[in-house]
Structures are given as C-alpha cells and as structure tokens.
C-alpha cells in the first residue's frame, strides 16, 4: 500500500510531515511518499498553480500509488481542479483520494469524473490537539477500509462538504450529482449570518434539492455577530431545510478537528 | 415625489434617519416617509422576516410612493426577496427601487420580475465620512434622474452587485438575466483569498459568462491574508476574466463609501 501526499491548496509544514512519517513507520502497514511540492510556498499557495497541478497529475498517473492523500486544506484547489479532472489517465482510477475542507473542490470534480473519493483527516491535522488519532483514522481507512473510521450514522450514499466550499462550487463544472445522497456539511471561522446566507444559497440550488437529506457536522470558531444572530447553527440549518423541502437528518460527526470521521462518496455506476 | 424608506436587511439608526430628514427638508423637492419597520430590531435583522416583508410589500403596493429606498445593507434581504417578488400588484411597477450591498438580492429578483431598480447610496450612508454628498447623489437620481449621479463610465446596459452577494444568488430563483450587460462588482471586509474564490465561482457560472464585460469597483477593508496573497484585487479579477473568456472593462466608481455612484439596471422590454 503506497500513499502519495500532495498539497493542491496550502503548504504542508515540515513538522507535520515528520510527525506523520513517524506514525507510518510505527504502523508498518503502508509506505508514505510526500511529494516535494507539498513544501513549496508561493504567496497563499503551496507553489504556483502549474506546479501544484503537475504534482497532482503526476501522482494520479503513477500506477505505484494506491492512494492520494491531500496534505491540508486552506484555499486553492479550485484553481486547478478542472484541469486535474481533464483527460484522466486510466491509472488515475482505482486509487482513493482522501481529504476535506478546501479539497472539496477536488472531491466534487473527481467524483464527477468517476474517481473514488472520501472525506477524511489530512496529514496537517497531526498537529491538532489529539491529531495523531485523526491520522491513524485516515490511515485505517486508506490501508484497510476499517469501518471504525467511518462517520458512525452513515446510511446509504453520502457526501460531505465544507458548507462555504459547497456554496462556491455550485454551478461550476465541478458540481457533482447529489441525487439521493445524504449531504453532510460543516464549517469553521464564519459569522452565523454567513452560515445563514450560504444555507440560503445552497438550499435554493435545484442540484442540492435532489439530496435525500442534509446532516450537520460541527460549525466551529464562529465569529462574533453584532448584534447576536438570535439562533444557533442547528436552527439555521433546520430552518433552511424546512423552507426548501429538504429533510434535516440531524447532527453528523465531522468537522475541522481531530474527531473528524471518514465519509466515502458513493461508488459511481457508470 | 414621495419616497418610502424600508429596511429589508438591518435596522436604520435614528441618527441616520434624522440626518436624512434634515437634508430632505433643506432640499424641498421631495417627501420622505420612513416606515416604522426601519427601526425595529430582531437579532441581526430589522424585525422578523414576516414584518420586514409586510413593510416592503406595503410600500411596493402603495400608489402614492414614487420610489422605495432601502435603508441600509448588512444581511437579510435574501430571506424575503422571493416572497417580495411574488404576485406583484400593478402598483409595484412604475416605482424606482434604490440601494446596494445586501439589497442586491432584491435588485436581482425585482429586475427579474420586471421592476425598475438601481444601485446607489442608501440613507444609512449619511453617517459615513462625506455621507451627506452620497445622500444628495441618491436623491438627485430618485427625484430628477440627474446624470451627474451616474457611474461616470457607464456604456450600455449595466448592473452592479456586491461580489459576495452575487456569488450567493447565482442559481437561486433571484438570478437575473445577465446577457450583454456590463457587470460592475465591488466588495468589502473580505480576505483576498475569498475574493479569488468568489471570482472562481462567479466566472464559472454560465449565466455570468453571458455578460459583455466585468468592471471592478472598490474592494475595501481587505482582511489580512497570512501569508500575503501575492497579488491585488485587480490582478485577481483580471485573471479570472482571462481564464473564463470574459472581457475585463477596468475599474468602476462604486463601493461601500460616500463616493459610491448610481448604476440603473437595464429597462426590461417585456
């Protein structure tokens, strides 16, 4: 089991890479290859678009890798996602692509292109409080599809997205087919009025109205609202579900934290 | 010329209302009626959705008003915009609807519904530095369609939107027909990576790709990016225009400030 790490958004820190390498060495059940691109820096990004794209396409095409693990989120994978899903080599199939947050742009496009993607912890998470557990959870899923890594209440086909990322990919060529899926959402570092606005946008989308239901993960580090917003994130999401006729499926065990669980996207039948 | 003020988003302050009433009294060319709803407060909003909607529909239906002037932006008009544009009384036509920022949700829906809308300064702007000039500019347009109030480089049919508001209305029932228009955008209080992400989203939209060109107003109060984003807002917008095949029409004289000019949306031919 060979796993490639690349950084389509922001750069991986050396400290995180060392910690993950040490975990992998102790496990002894897989080989980790951190692409040098992961450590590049170009303003906000882990290298210029062309360099991030080239590294991503290189590991996608390499038949020796069984999985591609996105190093971290941040922002930037949307800038290369459409090019990354174009003219796919056959060797890009049969691999698992794992990550979350900004990687949702890739998840959406790659799922649309017929690749095998999953929401789950990333290498940079090792530096979070309790992050070693999150890295083991991701590796348990990558290496042996351990059901204990999964979000515990998954029922049928599911997808997971950061709400703000989801809002920003609707209507783009990355938009996947949401028909009949349980849609798990979470967010971090937003004001509640922005959560409300994103829910307005997302639940008004005809594509999103095809979901079976929406489940809400954690909404962390909410920024202050002045005056107070008057209701919490659960009430916001329930309210927009009710207004749009989408079933609300309760809370979900995903978020920007060490407890974040794995959500494999549905297998494609085509 | 009778002008109604309502607050479909956040509440108007008494101080701003007094200052605008004094300006109107000095001008003597119009009558201003500030609906009591404008001063209500319900958490983030100027009263609950039903109350904001009722006040808006009341002044829309009242044949004695020649214009409806949105009190201020903030957030919340999206929550009532679709209901406000449904089953319009004939008296809602033949009025001008003026505002900007969050009012863009109403502008989009109302233009789609065949009403006469324009981007321009709002009553709460009177408290800005130099805000009295902005209020006169808005009234000059409302009362006598003074060409001096207009954005100085308008060429043919144009629309103006806050970029983040625009991103959040795409794909909703509020989305207007952008075919052939000059689209003026501006933003405030965002990180540059969010401006980049919104430009990705907006320029990927097939509806937006029908515009004649995009022009960029002011991007104010940019929040710190760590690390620095490596290019400014003009380069960001130019870059996404280039990638999406949309013509970039240069800078525009709109923004969240006292210099903000008027941009009337195109007349509807149907």
Alpha-carbon span B145 to B120, nearest angstrom? 12
Backbone dihedral angles phi then psi of residue A211, each to the nearest 5 degrees: -70, 160
Using the predicted structure, report yes or no on whether residue A68 has a pLDDT greater than 70.
Answer: yes
Q: Which residue of B has its CA nearest to A199?
A: B168
Cβ separation of A171 and B204 shorter than 8 Å?
A: yes
CB contact under 8 A, A204 and B43: no
CB-closest option in B75, B198, B207 to A197: B75
Q: Do A78 and B167 touch (CB under 8 A)?
A: no
- Chain position carrying tokens 């095809």: A210
> Which of B167, B200, B229 faces A43 most closely, judged by CB atoms?
B229
CB contact (8 A) between residue B171 and residue A171: yes
Q: How is the beta sheet containing A67-70 ordered, strand by strand?
A: A31-34, A2-6, A67-70, A96-99, A116-119, A263-264
Task: Calculate how close chain B gets to A132, using CA atoms only, in Å.
Answer: 26
Q: Chain A residues within 8 A (CB-CB) of chain B?
A: 41-44, 75-76, 78-79, 167-173, 192-193, 196-198, 200-201, 204-207, 225, 227-231
* 3-class DSSP string for chain A: CEEEEECCCCCCCHHHHHHHHHHHHHHCCCEEEECHHHHCCECCECCCHHHHHHHHHHHHHCCCCCEEEECCCCCCCHHHHHHHCCCCCHHHCCCEEEECHHHHHHHHHHHHCCCEEEECCCHHHHHCCCHHHHHHHHHHHHHHCCHHHECCCCCCCEEEEEHHHHHHHCCCCCCCCCCCCEEEEEEECCEHHHHHHHHHHHHHCCCHHHCCEEEEEEEECCECCCCCCCCCHHHHHHHHHHHHCCEEEEECCCCCCCCCCEEECCCCCC
pLDDT category of residue A269 using cuts at 50, 70 and 90: low
**What ipTM is given for this predicted complex?**
0.96
Q: Measured between CA atoms, how close is A10 to chain B, in angstroms?
A: 10
Q: Check if the beta carbon of residue A24 is closer than 8 Å to that of residue A32.
A: yes
pLDDT in tens, A217-242: 999 999 998 888 889 999 999 999 99
Q: What is the pLDDT of residue B225?
A: 85
Test mutation, A43, A81, A198, chain B, max B CBs within 10 A? A43
Closest in A44, A171, A231 to B170, CB measured:
A171
CA distance to partner chain B, nearest, from residue A53 (Å): 16
Residue of B nearest to A11 (CA): B227
Low-confidence spans in chain B with pLDDT less than 50: none
Using an 8 Å Cβ cutoff, are B70 and B98 in contact? yes
The predicted structure's pLDDT at residue B269: 57
pTM greater than 0.90 (yes/no): yes
The predicted-structure confidence for A151-167, as pLDDT tens digits, reads as follows 999 999 999 999 999 99
Q: Which residues of B touch A75 (CB under 8 A)?
A: 193, 196-197
Are A230 and B42 within 8 A, CB to CB?
Answer: yes
Closest CA of chain B from A44, distance in Å: 5
CB-defined contacts A:B, below 8 A: 85
């Amino acid at each position: 089991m060979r796993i490639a790490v690349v950084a389509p958004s922001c750069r991986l820190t050396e400290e995180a890479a060392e910690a993950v390498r040490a975990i992998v060495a102790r496990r002894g059940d897989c080989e980790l290859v951190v692409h040098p691109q992961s450590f590049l820096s170009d303003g906000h990004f882990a290298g210029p678009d062309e360099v991030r794209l080239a590294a991503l396409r290189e590991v996608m095409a390499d038949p020796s890798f069984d999985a591609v693990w996105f190093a971290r989120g941040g922002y930037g994978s949307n800038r290369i996602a459409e090019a990354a899903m174009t003219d796919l080599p056959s060797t890009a199939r049969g691999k698992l692509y794992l990550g979350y947050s900004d990687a949702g742009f890739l998840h959406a496009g790659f799922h649309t292109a017929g690749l095998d993607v999953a929401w789950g912890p990333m290498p940079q998470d090792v530096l979070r409080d309790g992050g070693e557990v999150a890295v083991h959870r991701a590796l348990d899923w990558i290496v042996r599809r351990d059901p204990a890594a999964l979000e515990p209440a998954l029922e049928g086909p599911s997808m997971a997205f950061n709400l703000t990322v989801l809002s920003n990919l609707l209507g783009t060529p990355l938009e996947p087919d949401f028909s009949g899926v349980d849609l798990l959402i979470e967010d971090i570092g937003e004001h509640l009025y922005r959560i409300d606005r994103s829910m307005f946008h997302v639940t008004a989308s005809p594509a999103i109205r095809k979901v079976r239901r929406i489940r809400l993960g954690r909404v962390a580090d909410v920024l202050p609202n002045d005056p107070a917003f008057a209701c919490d994130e659960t009430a916001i999401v329930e309210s927009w579900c009710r207004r749009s006729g989408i079933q609300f499926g309760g809370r979900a065990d995903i978020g920007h934290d060490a407890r974040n669980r794995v959500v494999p996207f549905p297998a494609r039948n085509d």
